[in-house]
Structure 1
């Protein structure tokens, strides 16, 4: 279970309407099955379900200094109840790339 969800206002995340749970591939997050991939720039790839077209996750194209690859799954694809009380972190991905202070909202405040 993630500790929080992240809402980002960058041009891509804003259009997808995703709420992300972050970790490192094969550490806190693993995925299987085929996906369709959209590569944005040289750093990130977005993975979509080939059947329904929903954005499932994003994954860094490269690894960090420790050899780990950053990944995030779209929490909007899960059932609301198990994650309803997770706090939402806001990331200003459009202009400043800053984490914003929590405002007390959680997922249930956006979904219900």
Structure 2
């Protein structure tokens, strides 16, 4: 199980199983947070613990999301979709930057254009260790 924690330790997340790749998004929020995301569904493989107030982002072209953070130290823990999928599940992604570096260093990085096209971008073969240090 992969675990991530905010700086002060008041809030954390867990992700069961293989996180897959890490997604780097270039939208105005993700770019500023420097987040790397791993996805699943709320209450399934991902669980969030501790108080995590939200900043809600509702865009015209972008999906409606809330960005959840630690109220004490400000670390961004995750984003959570505001709309349910057709099957009733809610998408959620955790910020892999809060995990121990050695546990995510090997993950490939996928690039996503969240700024303009909302499309996946071509890969460049880099992994987290290539951009982390």
TM-score (norm 1): 0.95
- Measured after TM superposition, the shift of residue 101 of structure 1 is 2.1
Runs (4+) of structure 1 exceeding 4 A deviation are none
Q: Indicate the residue corresponding to 1:22 in structure 2.
A: 39
SS in 1 for 2:49: coil
Q: Note the aligned Cα RMSD (angstroms).
A: 1.1
Q: Indicate the residue corresponding to 1:55 in structure 2.
A: 76
Q: How many residues align?
A: 112
TM-score (norm 2): 0.81
Of residues 13, 22, 33 in structure 2, which corresponds to 1:5? 22
Q: Indicate the residue corresponding to 1:95 in structure 2.
A: 116
Unpaired runs of 5+ in structure 2?
1-17
Q: Indicate the residue corresponding to 2:100 in structure 1.
A: 79
Unpaired runs of 5+ in structure 1?
none
Q: Deviations over 1:1-32 (max 9, x none)?
A: 30110000011111111000011111221112
